[in-house]
Chains A and B, each alone.
Chain A
Amino acid sequence: MFKSISSRRDFIKKMAKLSAITAAVSMFPGILFADEQEAGLPEGNFDWKKGPCRFCGVGCGILVGVDNGKAVAVKGDPNSSVNKGLLCVKGYHQTMCVQSSDRLTHALVKKNGSYVKTPLNEALDIVANKMKETIAQHGKDSVAMYTSGQSTIPEGYVASKLMKGAIGTNNLDCNARLCMASAVAGFLTTFGADEPMGCYEDIDHADYFITWGNNMAEMHPVLFSRMLEQKNKRGAKIIDFATRTSRSSTASNKSILFEPQTDLAVANAICYEIINNGWMNRKFVEDHINFSKGLTKMGYGTEDNYKFKDKPTKINFEDYKNFLEDYTPEKVSKYSKVSVKDIKYLAAIYGDPNKKVVSYWCMGMNQHTRGTWINNLVYNIHLLTGKISQPGNGPFSLTGQPSACGTAREVGTFTHKLPKGVVMNEKHRKLAAKIWKVPYERIPAKPTYHATEMFRAVDRGDIKFIWTQVTNPLVSLPKTSRYRPGMEKDSCFVVVSDVFPTPTSDVADVILPASWHIEKSGIYGNSERRTQHWDKMVEGPGETTPDAWMTIEVAKRMGYGELFPYSEENHVEEIYEEYTQFHEGAKHGMAPLEVLKKESGAIWPYVNGKSTQWRFNSKYDPACDNDKDFHFYGKPDGKAVIWQRPYEPAAESPDSEYPFWLNTGRVIEHWHTGSMTRRIPVLHKAMPNAYVEFHPEDATSLGIRDGENVKVSSRRGHCILPASINKRGLPTKGQVFVPFFDENMLINDVTLDAFCPISKEPDYKKCAVKVEKA
């Protein structure tokens, strides 16, 4: 290890700098130097406190250095098996966002068109009274809460308890509907149980990594670095299967590009090849698989009040094989633009019984108008070959947000879910009623609005009160050109809890100041089912309060105090104790809090002091009890399902008027809507604004040069962005890509709110736009 920075000379220079600054401060009180004041200080004795990272679904362990009540340093936790001491650029700088000057420190209430600073207690009174009033006048279903996959487990739990247990409405949904709903629907339809069956240790064993439409080098960077390490040490291969050449493509062994939406066809073609070449694992399929098909031609959900319920019918293997005749590689290659050679190459990798393959995917497959289907299809490939639930062998659905698993999916902050099970199931409602100590009839049995429908209801005036926490829907929803005017209407009272002012808080009637990550204790759950706990590390400024406590305070003011008997000091621990009762058992048991505090997180199911790393495999999973080598206990007969799903075109494909595909996504420097990362100087300077990526040949034919302002418009709205040609990513010809972190260049004004009819997750990756010079 060569340390190039610290040397005695540098140390002395820093001391000299420090004394000069101190002298200046004593001579001129209130003097300010740029960040120099903090940057030169020698390493003192800090307190290093552990926790999970605030950002993506990898869930790296971090250590925050706290000195004099301020967070001054962040480094990776070497004890965390997730990241082993490595972070990414966002992780290293995360604590700097709270030093931004426009941080929300006090509650703001809109009076006569302007925001007035209000004491928090008064603001919470206003919120509670408005909620009570709205329920009294318009019924329980006129109030709604919209939480987040970045809310902590206690925050999600009290929101669920308030809405479903106390008030008695299912008007609770979260932004994880926009990111993981298709993955969840895929798990439930194929396995009957949510969340991946493998864990990150698969990376250390796999021979091939196949990424389906995701850019792991920028989006799950620490996992990608682990994959690169295996590539160098063991000769593992990374195959990038995507619609655009990205950083990951350049680092992979092979990059295969496909036409948007045709991933459905290619997955089926791979299954065809596997069956026709005799690579199917016959014994596994006979012992553990049922075949089913569902409805097709389901529409795309673009109309209000769209309803859909799938009708599964059982089929047999012969039917499935005949169905696949439409998906020979030669036929699929014609419209998918993937060569027959590449399809056969992928199929051969999956089909080789001696090669361990892990498939990774995230938003490319989930934010898809047939998201549930494509999730099912990739599971089909792994189920046909029996490559599942073994170390280094299996499909792995990566999560986008830090606690979409932990909070949104496990606590169930969706309109149809409860902490255990669904509202439609009587047994599950009875269990919730018992633990929550509420009358069982109060929990409604019918789900109401999913995220997109919820905001449509706000627009129509059916929802008259909405409270958003830890999310920024007016930048992250699709077709914000409709939902922004909808939220601005007087008919809806909007309460926004956030850390920074955002376009969502700009339309709020009450803004509540939330605590940021390390200013409160909390619990997150990452992609590999690892629950991680952290203690409060620093004090928040002004009247900032944890979201969970604000929900509890409002609940108390509405008269539900006895349902929320938690203390302000310890509410996180008390809530977690109550919550774990829902998941008792070998299939989902959560680790006790002492374990979470000592270790760098624990994977559930946590049975008899051990984490279950590979579920459904009798060798590793104590919950398997059918005396066979695999037990898919999510389904009543213990068998997983292979679904027959066809290819259907996208909701809006390019045509003569709007000739380009629009794809949206992220970049490594910025997290989602940028409200935190743009306020971190290093990240903002590295990526100050959004842009639209073109293929160089498209740019030449349109006469557009790099950096020139371009207007991207669709049938719904337009957005003006500078062009970027061959810089961060290279779309194919006829496609443009825009990152969505920039609230000043709202690309979601242009996107379409079509969604997967089964999961209700919108498709942000495909709509038709036209491009012209601005």
Chain B
Amino acid sequence: MKRLGIISLFVLLFIAFIAVWNYSYFEGQEEAYIPVEEEQSIAVIPSETGVFKRSDYALDYADMPVDKAHQRTLDTYYNNRAFHGAPPSIPHPIDEMQNIGENSCLKCHENGGFVEKFGAYTPVAPHPELVNCKQCHVEQQKQTLFKTGTYARLRAPEVGNNNALLTSPPVIPHQTQLRENCLSCHAGPSAPVEIRVSHPERINCRQCHVPSTNELIEITAFTRKQ
């Protein structure tokens, strides 16, 4: 009896072995699947993606109160800049002198908010993905000049005369490079009064507001090439 038992055990093991071996052989015949992976190594159309950044908060923007006592104007906005389009200098003293900026700047400037110490609303950075802040934004440690000079002036775009018809949406009178995200400057309590929009919840800004690129090249009216 015992012998029968042992032999049947081994037979069972042998059958099991053959079964499993066959199964794995046929499984192995199935074609290997090579997944399709597209690696995006470049920033994808920044001038288009930029508009939709912060759009998750668009509804929140519409509910934000308007704080008349602490709002900025275009004058305060331009005071910080050598010419319109220049990177603003840092108007407040900073603690960490040696780092590149990154989180110590972004902790306030990514989402804005009221700062008691400076009595103002933090402007929101339109390009928070660029983390080497101090490459372009520097402090103003002194207000006097080394030598005087006649510095050329550049007229900044104005508010109120950018629409073609009375009820048309105004055109974008400035270049959008590094300022693709409209909401960061045009909405919220840190937005300069003159450019604060009445409808931040509409997200797809460039559906109605198109760039007027006269700053780069003069574009005259359309004429047919005969």
Q: Do chains A and B touch in the complex (CB under 8 A)?
A: yes
Q: Which residues of A contact B (CB under 8 A)?
A: 1-5, 10, 35, 38-41, 43, 65, 72-75, 86-89, 92-93, 95-96, 100, 102, 217, 221-222, 224-225, 228-229, 232-233, 245-247, 249-251, 257, 330, 333, 337-341, 501, 668-669, 678-688, 696, 726-730, 743-744
Judged by a CB distance under 8 angstroms, whether B169 is at the interface is yes
Q: Choose among B46, B49, B59, B219 the residue that contacts A232 (Cβ–Cβ < 8 A).
A: B59
Closest to A744 in B: B225
**In contact, A74 and B165 (Cβ under 8 angstroms):** yes
CA distance A74 to B164 in the complex (A): 10
> C-beta contact mask, B201-221 vs A, less than 8 Å → 1, else 0?
111101111111110000101
Known: A88-B208, A696-B42. A339 touches B219 (CB 8 A): no
Q: Choose among B36, B66, B206, B222 the residue that contacts A679 (Cβ–Cβ < 8 A).
A: B222
> Which of B164, B201, B212 is packed against the most chain A CB atoms within 10 Å?
B164
Judged by a CB distance under 8 angstroms, whether B63 is at the interface is no
Q: Choose among B52, B161, B196 the residue that contacts A39 (Cβ–Cβ < 8 A).
A: B161
CA distance A729 to B195 in the complex (A): 28
CA distance A669 to B222 in the complex (A): 14
Q: A668-B207, A681-B164 known; 13 other A-B pairs, CB under 8 Å?
A: A2-B197, A2-B198, A39-B164, A88-B207, A93-B164, A96-B164, A225-B204, A229-B203, A247-B51, A250-B44, A668-B206, A686-B171, A688-B222
Provide the residues of chain A in CB contact with B204, threshold 8 Å. Answer: 217, 221, 224-225, 228, 251
CA distance A743 to B197 in the complex (A): 36
Judged by a CB distance under 8 angstroms, whether B194 is at the interface is yes
Q: How many A-B residue pairs have CB under 8 A?
A: 169
- Which residues of chain B from 109 to 151 have any CB-CB distance to chain A below 8 Å in the complex? none
Provide the residues of chain A in CB contact with B209, threshold 8 Å. Answer: 89
**In contact, B208 and A73 (Cβ under 8 angstroms):** no
Provide the residues of chain A in CB contact with B44, threshold 8 Å. Answer: 245, 249-250, 726, 730
- Which residues of chain B from 44 to 101 have any CB-CB distance to chain A below 8 Å in the complex? 44-49, 51-52, 55-56, 58-59, 66
Q: Choose among A4, A225, A245, A250 the residue that contacts B202 (Cβ–Cβ < 8 A).
A: A225
**Smallest CB-CB A-B distances: 7 pairs:** A686-B210, A250-B49, A221-B207, A73-B166, A73-B167, A678-B222, A75-B167
Q: Choose among B47, B168, B195, B224 the residue that contacts A727 (Cβ–Cβ < 8 A).
A: B47
Known: A224-B204, A232-B203, A685-B214. A257 touches B219 (CB 8 A): no
Q: Which residues of B contact A (CB under 8 A)?
A: 31, 33, 35-38, 42-49, 51-52, 55-56, 58-59, 66, 159-161, 163-169, 171, 193-198, 201-204, 206-214, 219, 221-222, 224-225
Q: Choose among A1, A35, A87, A102 the residue that contacts B208 (Cβ–Cβ < 8 A).
A: A87
CA distance A95 to B166 in the complex (A): 12
Provide the residues of chain B in CB contact with A232, threshold 8 Å. Answer: 55-56, 58-59, 201, 203
**In contact, A228 and B47 (Cβ under 8 angstroms):** no
Provide the residues of chain A in CB contact with B225, threshold 8 Å. Answer: 744
**In contact, B221 and A681 (Cβ under 8 angstroms):** yes
Provide the residues of chain B in CB contact with A247, threshold 8 Å. Answer: 45, 48, 51, 206
**In contact, B45 and A245 (Cβ under 8 angstroms):** yes
Provide the residues of chain B in CB contact with A100, threshold 8 Å. Answer: 222
Closest to A342 in B: B36
Provide the residues of chain B in CB contact with A41, threshold 8 Å. Answer: 166
CA distance A729 to B49 in the complex (A): 10
Closest to B186 in A: A4
Closest to A743 in B: B224
Provide the residues of chain B in CB contact with A2, threshold 8 Å. Answer: 66, 196-198
**In contact, A89 and B222 (Cβ under 8 angstroms):** no
Provide the residues of chain A in CB contact with B33, threshold 8 Å. Answer: 330, 340
**In contact, B159 and A4 (Cβ under 8 angstroms):** yes
Provide the residues of chain A in CB contact with B31, threshold 8 Å. Answer: 330
CA distance A38 to B166 in the complex (A): 9
Known: A501-B224, A679-B222. A4 touches B196 (CB 8 A): yes
CA distance A463 to B85 in the complex (A): 59
**In contact, B159 and A682 (Cβ under 8 angstroms):** no
Provide the residues of chain A in CB contact with B167, threshold 8 Å. Answer: 65, 73-75, 92
Q: Choose among B37, B52, B198 the residue that contacts A1 (Cβ–Cβ < 8 A).
A: B198
Known: A224-B204, A232-B203, A678-B222. A686 touches B45 (CB 8 A): no
**In contact, B49 and A65 (Cβ under 8 angstroms):** no
Provide the residues of chain A in CB contact with B168, threshold 8 Å. Answer: 73-74, 92-93, 682
**In contact, B224 and A102 (Cβ under 8 angstroms):** yes
Known: A92-B208, A682-B210. A341 touches B201 (CB 8 A): no
Quote the shortest CB–CB distance from B65 to chain A (angstroms). Answer: 11
Provide the residues of chain A in CB contact with B169, threshold 8 Å. Answer: 89, 92
CA distance A678 to B219 in the complex (A): 12
Sample 29 A-B pairs with CB under 8 A, ordered by A number.
A2-B196, A4-B194, A5-B159, A39-B161, A39-B164, A65-B166, A65-B167, A73-B167, A86-B202, A92-B169, A93-B168, A225-B202, A232-B58, A245-B45, A247-B45, A251-B55, A257-B38, A330-B33, A339-B37, A682-B164, A682-B171, A683-B210, A685-B171, A685-B212, A686-B211, A688-B222, A726-B44, A726-B45, A728-B47
Quote the shortest CB–CB distance from B211 to chain A (angstroms). Answer: 5
Quote the shortest CB–CB distance from B74 to chain A (angstroms). Answer: 10
CA distance A73 to B163 in the complex (A): 10
Quote the shortest CB–CB distance from A666 to chain B (angstroms). Answer: 14
Quote the shortest CB–CB distance from A274 to chain B (angstroms). Answer: 21
**In contact, A5 and B165 (Cβ under 8 angstroms):** no
Provide the residues of chain B in CB contact with A93, threshold 8 Å. Answer: 164-165, 168
CA distance A251 to B58 in the complex (A): 13
Q: Choose among B36, B164, B196 the residue that contacts A339 (Cβ–Cβ < 8 A).
A: B36
CA distance A86 to B198 in the complex (A): 13
Provide the residues of chain A in CB contact with B164, threshold 8 Å. Answer: 35, 39, 93, 96, 680-682
Quote the shortest CB–CB distance from B75 to chain A (angstroms). Answer: 14
**In contact, B221 and A684 (Cβ under 8 angstroms):** yes
Q: Choose among B35, B47, B171, B219 the residue that contacts A340 (Cβ–Cβ < 8 A).
A: B35
Provide the residues of chain A in CB contact with B166, threshold 8 Å. Answer: 39, 41, 43, 65, 72-73
Provide the residues of chain B in CB contact with A72, threshold 8 Å. Answer: 165-166
Q: Choose among B35, B36, B203, B219 the residue that contacts A685 (Cβ–Cβ < 8 A).
A: B219
